[in-house]
Chains A and B, each alone.
Chain A
Amino acid sequence: MLTRLMRNEGVWLFTRSPAAILAAIATLAIVAGAAFAPWIAPTNPYDLASFSLIDGLLPPAWEDGGSPRFLLGTDDQGRDMLSSILYGARLSLSIAAMAMAVALLLGVGLGLAAGYLGGRFDAIVMRIADVQLALPAILTALLIDGISRGILPREMHDDLRVTVITLAIALSLWVNFARTARASVFVERSKDYVSAAIMMGQHPLRIMLRHILPNIVGPLLVIATVDLASAILLEATLSFLGVGLPADSPSLGTLIRIGMQYLLSGEWWILWIPTVFLVVLVVAINLLGDFLRDLFNPGMR
């Protein structure tokens, strides 16, 4: 069993790359922490009755004045930093993952169709993609958030905040998928198995999904991983700028925004701990992405 596993190229490469192993461990740990936050976090930071201002601004447990009840200290409202971070990561990761999924569906769908159908449809989709590429992702996201603020009544906008942010991020990330899918389809389309399928009279949709898609999954997976990191960063940036999630359901970016107030005052943990956490998360996912790229692109090895 073990030898069979070792013979698998991917696993073998993985065991040879300490960076990939570390990144995988860090990512897994954070994802698990976020997923199981309600069970492992010491307190629920969304439950107003579960924290008290009396515990406000306590330093981490290892510092003078810290309390073992609050391993990473507390913020200005007396919320446990560890719990806030775990819940924040949960929110950040789920928004990023949802945005990723939307971007993937949209991008791959359009890219596949454009590549396979070609012609006018291809031209239109790719020009839209070009325009989208000319806009920085953060600008697109701000634009969508701004428009939704303008057209939706305030209560509704507050309720739809997570949806709006997810869509905003998804719309700024779909281009990569579309372009990659289209380019891969171009390569695959001229291959014999596609010609064979066409000659057998199969429906174009079936050819796209059953024959071509499985063969271009590799590069898409690489992009998905790297873009997941971008999505997390984008969500953090939006929340940091104050257009993201509100202070009573803080994502990592919101936590960092709140912590900014304490940049100069000596309560370093309120800013630095969520920041370091975010950096570790993004670096780990990026390293995994690099590893996958190497794996699916033997020429780069």
Chain B
Amino acid sequence: MFRTTFPVAALALSTTLLSSLPVAAETFRWAGTTDPQTMDPHAVNAAPVLSFLNNVYEGLVRRDPEMGVEPSLATSWEALPDGAGWRFTLREGVTFHDGSEFNADDVIFSYERAVSEASDVRSWFASVTEVVRVDDFTVDFVTTAPNPLFPGSIANFMILDSGWAAENGADLPARDAENHATRNANGTGPFMLAARNPGIETRLVPNENWWDTAGHNVTEAIFTPIGNPATGLAALLSGEIDFISPIPLQDAEQVEERDGFEVLAGLETRVIMLGFGHDHDSLLYSEETTGANPFHDPRVRRAVAQAIDVETIDRVIMRGAAEPASQLVPAGLSGYSDDHADRPDYDPDAARALLDEAGYGDGFSFGLMCPNDRYINDEAVCRAVASMLARIGVEANVNAMPVRGYWDELRADNFDMYLLGWSPGTFDAEHPIRFLAHTPTERLGTWNFGGYSNQRIDALLAPIQSEVDPAARQAMLDEVAGILQEDVAYVPLYTQPLIWAMQENVDVVQRPDDFFMLRWVTVN
């Protein structure tokens, strides 16, 4: 009885007022919760940025709808003799959006840019020592060791035009400040950036000179970030936008039942987890525990893991759409360890006993950092975690904030515990080891905010990257998964669901990494 259209109309009003431009039939409008922070493909290694920019920029290789690796700016690639690296043959006749030609210089320039100090994507090239120009359309990526998965691992390494960047003073990515590449783009991709209004809307138009055949029929695409999911859904239902991801899980059923709308649900490759301040000497947000960090003790970390009832979080907050996770990658992903498929049991009594053993029987308080607009129901999950921890006497002070400032806080070590979601860009279990489990160095462990460090894992990373025999490789991945579980380096919670909704006349392709590719969109 409350499902009348009246509240929807009232909700939609606010967004209608914001954008009262007439909607042309062939214009495709889509919305997401998070605005891509930058148009610079090397400045922020986060899915909203990479997903969006994959429509504008291109890499040497790209992923097809099934996540397979296919040629993009490189037409072919082969391993160099003795596992010394990889040779890429570049596509000829490709031009950037401003008309300049694409060649080996742009690849080398982009590589230098991506491994520079200011770049956020350096760890993609942790095993690369140099990139050698063989001729105008051939480059060699020289690696320290054989790296069989390397081509697929750089699908998000996007190529900038060297001339354009130099002309506009964007030689280096700007992570904290801004430069020309933050608001402008000059890629080779199927869409060109027509207008960028950060936080409000971003307008793309098709690239008529694209080297590939366009599979879409979009003449203009407008992205609008809508932070409030209920507002976003109302915008979809009122016809103001054609596509949105995600919609609130609680509304999926209701949208499905409506005429003219379609819901596309699945599991993302993203695991939501809790991280600890492993290398912090003391808690930052504690009234009574000063000068000590209880999370140094693996028993305390295990107590946290055992106090959290993931099944109930899934049932109530995620409406049963999530899948409990035991490792940093979801079940079924390449390299997932079947030997370590079990999560620690939900057992508050055992958790309390562990705390007692560790000398924290009376509990303690700490700060839990949490984004409130990044992952599906992220803040609600943090609050539920806080409530579950309260039952074992541990008081979590939840500090929920928009993702805009979240990564900066984590990089500034301003947390005792934090919520993180990780989707392996390479679709392999090696990826989170490189980013989250390896001791932080210049190029490795760059998202290991808590500074978790284990020598054995550090030692295993290189052999995992270079091992050609699948069984031997899996054995090493199993060992790492075992260590991470034993140490409770992170508390993996669940695999996040994908929940896209669109007008019925829109056809899209849902990739399990939640990347939204405009080149696969058709509006009927």
Q: Which A residues are within 8 Å of any B CB, using their own CB? A: 47-49, 51-54, 56-57, 76-78, 246-248, 260-268, 272
Contacts and interface: CB of A to CB of B under 8 A. Distances in A.
A247 B401 CA distance: 12
Interface of B: 2-3, 7-8, 11, 228-230, 233, 248, 250-251, 253-254, 309, 312-313, 316-317, 379-380, 383-384, 386-391, 393, 395-396, 398, 400
9 contacts: A48-B386, A54-B312, A56-B312, A57-B316, A77-B383, A261-B248, A263-B11, A264-B254, A267-B250
A7 B448 CA distance: 78
Given A265-B248, A265-B254, A53 B7 contact: no
Contacts of B379: 247
A56 B8 CA distance: 25
B383 A272 contact: no
A273 to B, nearest CB: 12
B395 A48 contact: yes
B309 A264 contact: no
Given A76-B316, A77-B384, A248-B398, A49 B250 contact: no
Nearest to B312: A53
A261 B8 CA distance: 12
A51 B169 CA distance: 56
B387 A49 contact: yes
B38 to A, nearest CB: 24
The binding surface of chain A is classed by DSSP as loop
A57 to B, nearest CB: 6
Given A54-B309, A264-B8, A48 B254 contact: no
B309 A49 contact: no
Contacts of B253: 265
Interface of B is mostly: helix
Nearest to A76: B380
Given A48-B387, A263-B11, A268-B2, A53 B316 contact: yes
A247 B398 CA distance: 10
A261 B254 CA distance: 13
Contacts of B233: 264
A266 B396 CA distance: 31
B400 to A, nearest CB: 8
Contact of B2 (A48, A51, A52, A272): A272
B383 A264 contact: no
A100 to B, nearest CB: 30
A234 B61 CA distance: 55
Contacts of A264: 3, 7-8, 230, 233, 251, 254
Given A53-B312, A265-B250, A266-B3, A248 B383 contact: yes
A77 B11 CA distance: 24
A272 B2 CA distance: 10
Contacts of A268: 2
B398 to A, nearest CB: 7
A53 B309 contact: yes
A76 B377 CA distance: 11
A57 B233 CA distance: 21
B204 to A, nearest CB: 30
B350 to A, nearest CB: 17
A76 B317 CA distance: 7
Contacts of B400: 246-247
Given A77-B380, A77-B383, A263-B11, A52 B391 contact: yes
Contacts of A261: 229-230, 248, 250
Contacts of A57: 316
A49 B316 contact: no
Contacts of A56: 312, 316-317
Contact of B391 (A49, A248, A260, A263): A49
A51 B387 contact: yes
A52 B250 CA distance: 19
A248 B386 CA distance: 11
The 9 closest A-B pairs by CB, nearest first: A48-B390, A265-B250, A56-B316, A49-B390, A48-B387, A268-B2, A53-B384, A53-B312, A265-B251
A45 to B, nearest CB: 11
Contacts of B383: 77, 247-248
Contacts of B251: 264-265
Contact of B230 (A48, A77, A263): A263
Nearest to B387: A48
B229 A78 contact: no
